[in-house]
A and B are shown apart, each in its own frame.
Chain A
Amino acid sequence: MDAGLLPAVTIAIPLLAAVLIPIVGKHENIREGVTITAAVTMLGSVLAMLPPILSGSRITIPLLPMVPGGDLALRVDAFGMVFALTAAVLWLLNSFYAIGYMRSLQEHAQTRFFFCFAVAIAAAVGIAFSENLLTLFVFYEILTIITYPLVVHVETPAAMKAGRKYLAYLLIGGIFLLAAVILTYILTGTTVFVPGGFLAGSGSALILQVLFLLFMVGFVKAAWMPLHGWLPAAMVAPTPVSAFLHAVAVVTAGVFGIVRVAGWVYGMDLMASLGLGIFLAVIASFTIVTASLFALTEDNLKRRLAYSTVSQLSYILLGVSMLSIAGMTAAMAHIPIHAFLKITLFFVAGAVIVSAGKECISEMKGIGRKMPVTALMFSAAALGICGLPPLAGIISKIYLALGAVEGGMPVLLLVIIASTVLNAAYFLPIIHTMLLQRPDDERSLDSVTEPPLVMLIPIVLTVAVSVWIFFSPSMPFMDLIDIAIAEITGSVVP
């Protein structure tokens, strides 16, 4: 198959699955088979594009002429591959996990669930492979709409309320994003991403700063404070949704967008001259610290993880704000690193719900005795986020530290240190509760065992990947990131 068609194929596969799923809906095993087959094929398609990208080329396909301002077009480059690869691998693992979760709890409306998932992943990959701002916007909005049924899946009044909040935040953000895209088009006549940016000189400093603010609000999916409220609210969703969408796809789409805008629309030099680095640094630092503090107060495990996500996402924003090579490397690297680690944590949260029916940390005392592997994986991932080797979290922290110094903002080192301390503060107690404490009532844990294998294996695998990234970081993520950084800084590909 001509490599040129692969980007379109990659998006078409989950869409095709989405069409098939309602048709075979009643036959559950066939339906899950469709999802799994699609996930495997899509991963294969993404991997097939890896060699040419690693050698430095990019694959472009124009799809459809759309409006003045941008055609619907796909372009696969190194940075897009980082997101796409993460999403593809995790969709596969998450699909297995979701099948196990939904069947164990005998959840209703599973066809709708898997349908929405398939379309959502297509949208996420579409965002990763967007050639221009308008294509990004199209897939971005599709992602918003299609994740709504997933958020309100349980259909309780609380879920509906959360769903409304979710939709309100994301749709309003979408309007700001549209305004930003249109403004970009008016200023420059194009919206195609150019490594190193294309906005320089197209407007006054004030306009460009306002534009960046519009972009920031538009990318509300990045959950930066104070516009983060939708993320903890969305935790009413079933855990596979929280795990994948709100630890990986939706939030990553948000930060991906901001990094794209910083590197391929503005360019690091322009951002420095407009003072946007400092602006971003302030927002990111505020979010990192405040979200961690909120996490400390939450007893519901998923909500605590949600605030942790909010905090971790701003690591990426912090990296961008440093406007240095190490900083950008940290930002791009944290996307897969955080994804794999965070999804593990959510997977475990879901496993506890399935096996023991417990959502609150205070009720999970001693659960590690009955679910040793699960609890161990949780501990590993949690410590990984704190920055403990051999899990990959330390890589981001080191690059962030380097970036802070390189970018001339050593005060950010304090932020990183404070954050690490807070990470430990809200994660260690969980580990302690799970592993070391005795349950209040010994017999309440009698029926608790490890979750079914189809859920357990993905948990172990995600941790394994995190370890693998640590030991061989170059393949493939760091290589891709190096190429991407080289693109936007204009230096030669190493």
Chain B
Amino acid sequence: MIEAFYELFLSRYNYWMAIILMLIGLYALIAKQNLVKKLIGLNIFQTAIFLFYISFAEVQGGTAPIYLPEGVDALYVNPLPHVLILTAIVVGVSVTAVGLSLIVRIYEEYGVIDEDDLMQVVRGR
């Protein structure tokens, strides 16, 4: 029983954290009316995915993947996901930038950044 609990939850806690964060992010994305909050939700969602990647790069007892004086024989964590996530972070930042600038323009144009009000104003025009 304890083994099952350990098996399912504790040993895989990193995946559970990622999942919970993802769901929080998605919830914010879908349920929140304010556009900025939606964007924050998107960020949380993306960050959760990054954490997921990094977490499975972990090698027990490994160190950061930078060359040590011992050379290539030392135990490093898997560098590949780190590299991938660097790229993905850049992508995430760009998307956030575009999203925020869109929100600025929407606010300038319509005066609201709440989704329901926005729908009304857009339809009204």
Is there a direct interface between A and B, measured as CB atoms under 8 Å apart in the complex? Answer: no
Taking beta carbons and an 8 Å cutoff, which residues of A are in contact with B? none
